[in-house]
Amino acid sequence: AGAESAHMTLERVRAVIEDLATRDSNGNTLKVTASIGFSSSNGKPEIATLLRQADEVLYEAKAEGRNQVVGWTDSRE
């Protein structure tokens, strides 16, 4: 349930970021999006392992089209 909850929360964050509108100095609207990678484990992995996993899935999110949330869970191993 932890990974699913994290994914849902981060998806809400991503959606809020996507809905943000900002303007540059010329008044042009700029679109902002976010790719988010996270790692979740039921065990007690090292922090370095969690960061490596989150980084790996972040690049996966970017490679698959950006503006999405991808998680690394124990089932990926």
CA dist 39 to 21, 31, 46, 62, Å? 29, 27, 12, 16
- Side chain identity, residue 32: V
pLDDT band at 41 (very low <50, low <70, confident <90, very high): confident
Q: Are 41 and 74 in contact (CB under 8 A)?
A: yes
Residue 69: which domain range?
A: 2-76
Q: What is the pLDDT of residues 9-33, one digit of tens each?
A: 999 999 999 999 899 999 999 999 9
Is the confidence at residue 1, as pLDDT, over 70?
A: no
Number of domains forming the structure of the chain: 1
pLDDT band at 44 (very low <50, low <70, confident <90, very high): confident
Q: For the domain that residue 52 is a member of, what is the CATH number?
A: 3.30.70.270
Q: Structure pTM?
A: 0.83
The span from the CA of 41 to the CA of 51, in Å, is: 12
